[in-house]
Amino acid sequence: MLQTDTLHTKFLELVKSAEAQNGATLLESRQAAFKRFSNNGFPTIRSEQWKYSNITGLLNDALQVPVEPLAVKETQDAGAALLVKLHAPAEWLTILTINGKLHTIQRPTGSKEDNLQISDVQDFLLSTEDDGDNDTVVQQAINKPFSLLNRALFLHGLQLEVKANSQVNIPVHIIHYYTGIENTFLQTRLQLKANKNAHLTVVESFIADSSCKNVVVNHAAETLLAAEATLDHFLVQQLNEQTNLILSEVVRQEQQSDYKNHVISLPFARFIRNNLDIALKGTYSHTDMHGLYMVSPQQVIDNSTGINHLRPNCTSNQLYKGIVADKGTGTFNGRIYVHLDAQKTNAFQKNANLPLGEHAVINSKPQLEIYADDVRCTHGSALGQMNNQQLFYLLARGIKQEIAVKLLSQAFVNEVTETIEQESIRSYVADLVEKALDQM
């Protein structure tokens, strides 16, 4: 397994290289983050948060941490061709990164979107300094091992910011494309900031091509919604068995903000871990967390979500569904935390799983911690199985077993895809899901 010492050597190289120097304000934060990381190192299955996923094999010795930008062969022209190949919807604003580095920005003809600023990360959105009790949950989230490591070692960071009182009218599609890299432990970063009463829709597609070998992407995201801001956020993970992902997203919401998150994990990566931590810091805010994880044989998809209700009158709604093939492992570890001050909280959580074989492994662990007294919280978890009555009904109508199973699987996932309000995004996701179902 990767050793902290090795990482430390790499870290020192990185600090020396120009890439890290250009963000002088970041340097101190990087050092602080690395120090914190070194204290505990990588998590093990003894940790409550990681008990279902052993990462020792994933973080193998062969992995190298790049300290300078990885070579990218394609020219700017090739960027446009690549977007066609990747089926990037042309009517969206598309930002293509290759192996973490910003490569192409493509706008639909006639669109300006000058209220959206696209830049490198110059500073962290969510600071590590403690600014009072209210922020400790954010601190805890950004101080988790992989977030810390990313803070210390990230090579490329992209930041999107929307001006106050404005709306970006088309979806912004960020394609994280991984190609031609081997034995790489890549740290990439995204920061999203919606200022007061700003409105933004972001679709992130994580796409790996077959030229990658033994790649682990440690992607960290910091998201900030100012008062009255809305953000629709979709993470669509289209990886392969050589390209694995550890994703950590921390979201802070101010009052009357509305954050809708969809994480769609398509099959075939060996390992995907999704950490999602949300802090409802302002009153009258709302969060949606929708997840769909499709686990192929031998694959692990592990979702670890936490929503913190810190202030009164907020609502949250979570629906996570997993389809788990034989010998796949699907995990949902979801915590709702209603703090003392969060009266009139209304929180809903549901996790359901559909195993496709006897040896599918499903871990479902919903957790409710409530410290306020005037709240409404409901949660439920269903390990599930294919409904035999439904299956027999379809068979008895002449539909053969494998097609009937597919129809029922489709129906199972539809509950998640139907929550996508924007037609163009729903069909983008639904097409990918349908294709994945055919291949599972």
Partner 1 sequence: MLTIKNLFAGIEDKAILKGINLQVNPGEIHAIMGPNGSGKSSLASVLAGKEDYQVTDGEVLFEGKDLLELSPDERAKEGLFLAFQYPVEIPGVSNMQFLKTAVNEIRSYRNQPALTAGEFLSLIKQKQKLVELDDQFLRRSLNTGFSGGEKKKNEIFQLAMFEPKLSILDETDSGLDIDALRIIANGVNRLKNNNNSFVLITHYQRLLDYIVPDFVHVLYDGKIILTGTKDLALELEEKGYDWVKEMAHAKEPAQ
Q: Convert residues 291-310 into a mask of x (bound to partner 1 by CB under 8 A) and - (unbound).
A: --------------------
Kindly state the smallest distance separating residue 397's Cβ from partner 1, in Å. Answer: 4
Rounded to whole angstroms, the Cα distance separating 66 from 333 reads 31
Is residue 339 classed as helix, strand or coil in its secondary structure? Answer: coil
For partner 1, the closer of residues 122 and 387 by Cβ is 387
Contact by Cβ (8 Å): 156, 101: yes
For partner 1, the closer of residues 91 and 418 by Cβ is 418
Kindly state the smallest distance separating residue 256's Cβ from partner 1, in Å. Answer: 33
For partner 1, the closer of residues 37 and 412 by Cβ is 412
Q: Which of residues 356-415 bind partner 1 (CB under 8 A)?
A: 387-390, 392-401, 403-404, 407-408, 410-412, 414-415
Kindly state the smallest distance separating residue 394's Cβ from partner 1, in Å. Answer: 7
Kindly state the smallest distance separating residue 294's Cβ from partner 1, in Å. Answer: 16
Kindly state the smallest distance separating residue 342's Cβ from partner 1, in Å. Answer: 33
- Token duo for residue 185: 């432990």
H-type helices in 22-119, by residue range? Answer: 24-40, 76-85
- 103, amino acid identity: H
Q: Which of residues 89-148 bind partner 1 (CB under 8 A)?
A: none
For partner 1, the closer of residues 371 and 393 by Cβ is 393
Rounded to whole angstroms, the Cα distance separating 440 from 435 reads 9
User: What residues contact residue 22 under an 8 Å CB cut-off, 6+ apart?
Assistant: none
How many CA atoms within 13 Å lie on the side-chain side of 232?
17
Is residue 119 classed as helix, strand or coil in its secondary structure? Answer: strand
For partner 1, the closer of residues 69 and 357 by Cβ is 357
For partner 1, the closer of residues 371 and 392 by Cβ is 392
Is residue 323 classed as helix, strand or coil in its secondary structure? Answer: strand
Kindly state the smallest distance separating residue 301's Cβ from partner 1, in Å. Answer: 21
For partner 1, the closer of residues 56 and 390 by Cβ is 390
How many other CB atoms sit within 10 Å of the CB of residue 240?
18
Contact by Cβ (8 Å): 285, 256: yes
Contact by Cβ (8 Å): 304, 248: no
Residue 162: C-alpha distances to residues 91, 169, 259, 354 (Å): 19, 11, 15, 39
CA 161 to chain centre: 19
Kindly state the smallest distance separating residue 440's Cβ from partner 1, in Å. Answer: 17
Total chain residues near partner 1 (CB under 8 A): 23
- Which residue ranges make up the site for partner 1 (CB under 8 A)? 387-390, 392-401, 403-404, 407-408, 410-412, 414-415
